[in-house]
Each structure stands twice: as C-alpha cells, then as structure tokens.
C-alpha cells in the first residue's frame, strides 16, 4: 500500500521518455504510454488488495520534502477509501481511453505528443488524488489544467480549438487563484501544509488555537472557487462545452471522468473544512443545484452531440456538489464513480459516431445510426439509460443516495429542484439517444460504419461496467455492507445501505417518466416539440443563447478587462518605460555629457591638476597640524 | 657641507624636474624630467641616511629601490613613447589628446 506512490510515477516516466524521443520511439510512443497506464492499473489492484487486507482506514505515508523557515513540507500520500476509488476510476478510464485512442487517433501527425500528454495527465490526476499536502495537491491541480490545455488544443491548427483551449485554461485559472489564496490562508494560519493536520486543526482545534469562523468560511469558499472552475460549476462552466473541440477521447477522459471530477474530489477531501463552516456548505449546495439545472436545460436545447454530453456532465457535477453540500459525502463520490464510467462510455460512443460520420456532431443530421453501428448504439443507449437513472443501471443507485442525502440535509426546496433536474436529465438523454441512433436512417448516416474493434471494445467494457457498478451500493457478503460502509467520513462513521421507499419510487417514476416522455416526444410528436418551442420562444432563445453568459463574459472582457488593460499598458509605456527606465538612462547620459568637458586629454593639464592636488593635500595636513 | 645644502640641492632638482614635466612638450624630455624628480628624492634619502649615522641604512636601501624601479619605469615609458610615435607620428604631447571627453 505504501507503494501506491508508484502509480503516478509510471505516467511521469512515460511522458518524459515520449516527450524526448517523440517519433524515434518504436510504435510512435503508443506502446509505452499504454504500458505505463496498464502498470498503474495493475498496481492499483495490489494497493486495493493490500488496503482491504489491512482494513478500511486512512493510511498516511510520508517522507520529508523540504523545510522553509518554520514550515516543513512533507512529500507523501494518503491512502483511504476516497483515494482508492479515485485511483481505480482514473487508471481504469485512462486505460480504456488510451486503448480507444489507438483507433481514434490513428494517423494523427502529433501522435507521440498526444500519448505523452495523456500519460502526463493521468500521472498528474493520480498525484492529485494521492497528495497528502496542499502544496503537492495544488501542483498536481495546475498540471492537470495544463494537460487539459494541451489536449483540448491538440488540433491547434483549427482556430476554434486553440480558442477553446485558451478559454478552458483561463477560466479555470480564475478559480485556481481562489484555490491558491484559500490554501495559503489555511497554511499561514495553521502553519502546516499537511492536509490531514490542517483539517484536524480546523475541526478539532486545541484550546486557544481555534480558527475564526470568518477565516474558515473564507478559505473554504476560496477553495470552492477553485473547485468551481475545474468542475465546471455555474458561472465558471463556460469552458466545458467549448472544450469539446478537443479530440473525443480527451473529452471522455478529462471532461467526463477525471479532471472535472477533481473539483468534487477536492471538496470531498477537504470536507471537514466545509463542514466546520456551515455557510460554505450551503454555498456548495446552492451552486451545485444551480449548475445541475442550468446544465440540464442547456443540454436539452443543444444540437451538438458532444455538447449535450458536456452539459450533461456539468449537470451531473452539479448533482455531486449538491450532494456534498447536503453532507452526502458517500453519495457524491459514488455518483462521481458511476457518472464517470457511464459518461466516459457515452463520450467514446459519440466519438465512434464522429469517426463514422467524418466528424459530424450535429444530432439533427444523424438518425437511425443503430442500423449502421449497432454496438455503438447499444453502448450509447446503456450509458444514456444509466445516467438517466433507470434501475438497475449504475447512476440510479448513486442518484438514490444523493436523493436521500438531499432530503436529510437540506430544506425541501432543494429536493423539489433536484427532482426537476432528474426529470430534465432523463429527458435530454432520451432526446439525444432517439435523435442520433433511432428512427429513420438519415442521408448523412448512409455511409456510416461500425468503428474498429480497438475502439468498440473499450466502449463495450465501460458500458458493461456502467450496468453493474451501481451494485456496489448493495450489501455483498458479510463484510461489505454497501458503499456507505466502505466510503465514509471518519468523523461520521460508516453507515449501511438504506432505501427510503417513497424516494426510490419517486426517483424511478420521474426518471423513467422523463425518459419515456422524451422518447415519445421526439419519436412520435415532433410537432408538439415545435409548438412548445414556439410557445416558450423567449425562454427557448434564452437557453439557446446559453443564458447570454458567454455574451456577458465577452462584453466584460471587451469593455472592462481590455479597457483596463489598455490603461495599464498606457501607464506602463508612458510612466514606467518612458519615465522610469528610459528616463533614468537618459538622465545618466545627460549628466555624462555635461561632465565630460573636464577631460581634455592633454598631458600637461593632468600634470597641473595632479600637482595642485598634491599641494592641496599637503596644505590641508600642514594647516591642520 | 651641512644637511641643509643637500636639502636645497634636492628641492632645486625636484622643482626643475616638476617644471620640466609640466612645461615640456616632448614626451622624451618629460620622461627625463621625471627621472630628475626621482633623483632629487634619492639625494634627500641618502642625505638623511648619512645624517642619522652608519647604523641607519633604511634611507640607503630605499634609494637603491628607487633606482631599480626607475630603471624599470624608463624601459616601460620608452616602450609607450615608441608606440605613441608609431601611431601618431609624433611625440609632441600637445598633439595627443585621444582621451578628450
């Protein structure tokens, strides 16, 4: 178990070799990259086995890193249920996505770089989940963002891809600034970077060392700002749909299962901090709920298959944040797991469609694809049903957990909106599935064909897993009493599997009803859809324009940021450069020009000055004596 | 012959040398004037040494040093003057002002 730190090391090593050797590697680096992540996945199993043998607990392994003044920074890892689940999810999805990429990215001209950065990304994400101190965590956090930038902008010759990469990087940076300030606030006030120690100081302070409520709430909110950026929470979500410009496997890995989950992971890791400040927890719940509704509504009107999935991801990340805000630690991470797997398979299926239709993503031009690519269609349908929350597929179980958590932890208004989000989520999934894969075969889909096996098998494995992974919620055997007995906050202790019949029924009815309604509307009654669209024209336009958020941001950038920047640039040019830098140089030159005349270059003049100087010194000492 | 005679001789030689250094235009003559000043100092040193008696040889030793260094200095100065002549075609110090600001 103490060897868990090896899991990210493989990826860092693979990146180093691939980045240096590039095209000189046999197989253009693909083999090495897949080997590294496979090694990580294999090591994960040893860690898991060791972890289960030693009993479910929190293990902390650490070595000294460096000391600066009074602050010791250790380099170490935490192995606890949260980490183990994340390790499994990240290594598995990364492995599946890399194998899928072998087919999807075949023939790409920057293939070695793609696989190298893929390895680096996986390594950074694994470091992030293992990190035992806030500094290492922040480091991995930024590295993850950087890799996301590289991968979204992989086809940077396309202007939209380059722009999307920049947008993603800058938007998440805005949150990261908050994260950094929040971390520094905590470190300055507790004197340590060690995550567990910081949390201990926050939740069980020694007498006289209590941190003020303002500080706890402030740092929790600032850290949550970082989580909002990475996890595409409203209003910092705008980068996620644009990030779909990247290669689809990248979306499957980064924008479904891993990087966007980092924000949820961060809040879960620092959960005691949020719990110590009730206000921060309420903010998390509120932002999560808004994100869930905004994402779901945007997914409902989008006509781009990948963007529908992106908005759906955003909506589900909102679910997770809502669960965390309700105190449902287990529910949130469980949903992270089930959603990650189902969404990765959905993205890969969407990529398979794009592969077959020359990069087409507009669902209005698809239709009947199941006749041409049956395996992809089945996988997509399973993923969609799973995410819609249809029992017994995976997300049903986690959504149920969230429902119970919300019902216990928050006031009923949240519950009502959450139920609405569940309906919407089933509705847009039905719409996307129906329009893309069922019904009449569209003209554009005529020449579509099933993708090669190297792509279909990972999709099938993930889709299969998204059927069964939800069963982790149930008690198995004598020792395993549902997910709640494995993944829990130590503070609160384990809790068994529980079902509240009325909420389960409600969730089944709403999800099933939503899915059926969506299917019916788009299968039989398109006219009804159109009339609804016309009836609520203003609302539809509002959602279709993404609540004018992008426009608002663009306005803010043009009118505020750029104007202010121009002012600063003017000040820099005139005052700092012309006045300060050039001014200082000019005054030195002028002084030199004025003073140069004393030097005549004539020997006699120097001789006279020397003699006069000696006489002067002689007189000075003579008179003084 | 008292000490005073030697002092006057030394001062006179020194002033002659100083005049030569400041007033002469030819670099060679300036160099000779410098030698004159050095020797004026030597006269003083030897005179004081003799005045203080046979036990005190410090002045004599220093005079030997001055002579040695003067010899080295002449070699160096002659080399510089030769270079000056090569580059400027003249050793007239009034014509050489390449260091003017």
All residues at 6 or more sequence positions from B22 whose CB lies less than 8 Å from its CB, including other chains = A604, A607, A608, A611
Integer distance in angstroms from the first to the last C-alpha of chain A? 86
pLDDT tens-digit map of A210-264 = 778 888 899 999 999 999 988 888 888 888 888 888 888 888 888 888 888 899 9
Please tell me the predicted confidence (pLDDT) of residue A589.
Answer: 92
Q: How many CB atoms lie within 10 A of CB A19?
A: 15
Closest-CA residue in chain B for A595? B101
User: A374-388 and A394-409 helices cross at what angle (nearest 10)?
Assistant: 20
CB atoms B21 and A598 under 8 Å? no
- pLDDT band for A203, please (50, 70, 90 cuts): confident
User: A213-230 and A159-190 helices cross at what angle (nearest 10)?
Assistant: 160
Q: Is A440 left (phi over 0), alpha (psi -120 to 50) or beta?
A: beta
Please tell me the predicted confidence (pLDDT) of residue A181.
Answer: 93
Q: Which of residues 566-605 of A touch B (CB under 8 A)?
A: 595-604
pLDDT (mean) for A162-167: 89
d(CA A315, CA A291): 6
Q: Which of residues 291-350 of A touch B (CB under 8 A)?
A: none
Element (H, E) at A344: helix A329-356
- CA atoms in the 13 A half-sphere facing the CB of A76: 19
d(CA A424, CA B13): 114
Q: Tell me what the pLDDT averaged over chain A comes to.
A: 86
Residue B93, chain A, CB below 8 Å: the answer is: yes
Determine contact, residues A48/A63, Cβ cutoff 8 Å.
no
pLDDT (mean) for A572-583: 89
pLDDT tens-digit map of A11-44 = 898 898 888 888 777 778 788 888 889 999 999 9
All residues at 6 or more sequence positions from A540 whose CB lies less than 8 Å from its CB, including other chains = A301, A533
Please tell me the predicted confidence (pLDDT) of residue A536.
Answer: 82
d(CA A322, CA A304): 27
In 3-state terms, what secondary structure has residue A131?
Answer: strand
Q: Chain B contacts of A599, Cβ < 8 Å?
A: 99-101
All residues at 6 or more sequence positions from A336 whose CB lies less than 8 Å from its CB, including other chains = A85, A89, A261, A264, A265, A320
pLDDT tens-digit map of A272-331 = 888 888 888 889 999 999 999 999 888 888 888 888 999 999 999 999 999 998 888 888
> Mean pLDDT lowest for which of A320-334, A532-546, A565-579, A606-620?
A532-546
Q: Is A484 a residue whose pLDDT tops 80?
A: no
State percent of chain A over pLDDT 90. Answer: 16
d(CA A160, CA A556): 20
Locate A89 and state its tokens.
């999810």
Q: Is A478 a residue whose pLDDT tops 70?
A: no
Please tell me the predicted confidence (pLDDT) of residue B70.
Answer: 93
CA distance, residue A589 to nearest chain B CA (Å)? 13
Better-scored residue on pLDDT, A365 or A150:
A150
CB atoms A602 and B94 under 8 Å? yes
Element (H, E) at A63: strand A59-68
Determine contact, residues A553/A235, Cβ cutoff 8 Å.
no
Q: Is A618 a residue whose pLDDT tops 90?
A: yes
Q: Chain A contacts of B30, Cβ < 8 Å?
A: 603
Locate B47 and state its tokens.
């005179």
In 3-state terms, what secondary structure has residue A208?
Answer: coil
pLDDT (mean) for A70-75: 79
CA distance, residue B101 to nearest chain A CA (Å)? 5
DSSP strand E in A368-507: where?
475-476, 480-481
pLDDT (mean) for A146-170: 89
Closest-CA residue in chain A for B24? A604
Please tell me the predicted confidence (pLDDT) of residue B17.
Answer: 93
Give the residue ranges of chain B where pLDDT is below 70. none
Please tell me the predicted confidence (pLDDT) of residue B65.
Answer: 95
CA distance, residue A598 to nearest chain B CA (Å)? 7
Closest CA to A133 of A187, A52, A189: A187
**SS3 per-residue string spanning A305-329:** HHHHHHHHHHHHHHHHHHHHHCCCH
Q: Is A377 a residue whose pLDDT tops 80?
A: yes
Please tell me the predicted confidence (pLDDT) of residue A198.
Answer: 85
């Amino acid at each position: 178990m103490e060897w868990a730190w090896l899991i990210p090391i493989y990826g860092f090593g693979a990146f180093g070799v691939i980045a240096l050797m590039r095209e000189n590697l046999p197989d253009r680096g693909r083999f090495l990259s897949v080997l590294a992540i496979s090694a990580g996945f294999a090591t994960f199993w040893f860690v898991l086995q060791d972890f289960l043998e030693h009993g479910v607990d929190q293990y902390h392994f650490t070595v000294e890193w460096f000391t600066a003044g009074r602050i010791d920074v250790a380099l170490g890892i935490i192995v606890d249920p949260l980490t183990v689940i994340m390790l499994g999810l990240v290594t598995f999805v990364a492995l599946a996505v890399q194998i899928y990429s072998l087919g999807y990215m075949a023939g790409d001209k920057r293939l070695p770089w793609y696989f190298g950065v893929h390895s680096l990304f996986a390594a950074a994400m694994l470091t992030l989940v293992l990190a035992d101190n806030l500094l290492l965590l922040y480091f991995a956090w930024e590295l993850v963002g950087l890799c996301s930038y590289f991968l979204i902008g992989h086809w940077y010759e396309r202007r939209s891809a380059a722009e999307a990469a920049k947008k993603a990087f800058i938007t998440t940076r805005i949150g990261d600034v908050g994260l950094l300030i929040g971390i520094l606030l905590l470190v300055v006030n507790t004197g340590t970077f060690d995550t567990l120690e910081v949390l201990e100081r926050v939740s069980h302070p020694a007498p006289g060392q209590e941190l003020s409520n303002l500080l706890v709430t402030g740092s929790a909110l600032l850290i949550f700002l970082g989580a909002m950026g990475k996890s595409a929470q409203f209003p910092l979500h705008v980068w996620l749909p644009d990030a779909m410009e990247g290669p689809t496997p990248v979306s499957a890995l980064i924008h479904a299962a891993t990087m966007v989950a980092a924000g949820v992971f961060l809040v879960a890791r620092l959960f005691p901090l949020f719990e110590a400040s009730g206000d921060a927890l309420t903010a998390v719940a509120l932002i999560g709920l808004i994100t869930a509704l905004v994402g779901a509504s945007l997914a409902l009107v989008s006509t781009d298959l990948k963007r529908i999935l992106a908005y759906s991801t955003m909506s589900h990340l909102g679910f997770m944040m809502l669960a965390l805000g309700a105190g449902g630690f287990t529910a949130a991470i469980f949903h992270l797991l089930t959603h990650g797997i189902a969404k990765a398979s959905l993205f890969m299926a969407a990529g398979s469609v794009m592969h077959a239709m020359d990069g087409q993503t507009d669902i209005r031009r698809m239709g009947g694809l199941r006749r041409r690519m049956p395996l992809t269609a089945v996988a997509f349908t399973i993923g969609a049903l799973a995410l819609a929350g249809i029992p017994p597929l995976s997300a049903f179980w986690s959504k149920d957990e969230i429902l119970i958590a919300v019902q216990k932890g928050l006031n009923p208004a949240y519950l009502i909106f959450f139920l609405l989000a569940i309906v919407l989520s089933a509705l847009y999934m039905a719409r996307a599935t129906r329009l893309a894969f069922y019904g009449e075969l569209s003209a554009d889909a005529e020449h579509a064909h099933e993708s090669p096996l190297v792509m279909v098998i990972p999709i099938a494995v993930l889709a299969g897993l998204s059927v069964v992974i939800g069963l982790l919620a149930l008690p198995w055997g004598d020792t395993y009493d549902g997910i709640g007995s494995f993944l829990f906050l130590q503070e609160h202790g384990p809790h068994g599997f529980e079902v509240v019949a009325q909420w389960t029924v409600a969730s089944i009815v709403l999800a099933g009803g939503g899915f059926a309604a969506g299917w019916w509307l788009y299968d039989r009654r398109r006219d009804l859809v159109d009339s609804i669209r016309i009836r609520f024209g203003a609302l539809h336009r509002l959602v279709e324009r993404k609540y004018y958020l992008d426009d608002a941001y663009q306005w803010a950038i043009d009118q505020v940021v750029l104007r202010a920047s121009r002012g600063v640039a003017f000040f820099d040019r005139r005052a700092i450069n012309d006045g300060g830098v050039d001014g200082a140089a000019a005054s030195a030159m002028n002084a030199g020009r004025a003073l140069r005349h004393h030097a005549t270059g004539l020997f006699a003049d120097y001789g006279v000055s020397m003699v006069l100087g000696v006489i002067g010194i002689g007189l000075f000492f003579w008179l003084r004596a | 012959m008292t000490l005073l005679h030697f002092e006057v001789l030394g001062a006179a030689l020194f002033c002659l040398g100083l005049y030569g250094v400041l007033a002469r235009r030819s670099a060679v003559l300036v160099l000779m004037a410098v030698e004159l000043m050095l020797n004026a100092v030597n006269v003083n040193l030897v005179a004081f040494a003799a005045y203080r008696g046979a036990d005190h040889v410090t002045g004599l030793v220093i005079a030997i040093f001055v002579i040695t260094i003067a010899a080295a200095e002449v070699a160096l100065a002659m080399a510089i003057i030769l270079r000056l002549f090569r580059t400027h075609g003249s050793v007239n110090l009034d014509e050489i002002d390449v260091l003017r600001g």
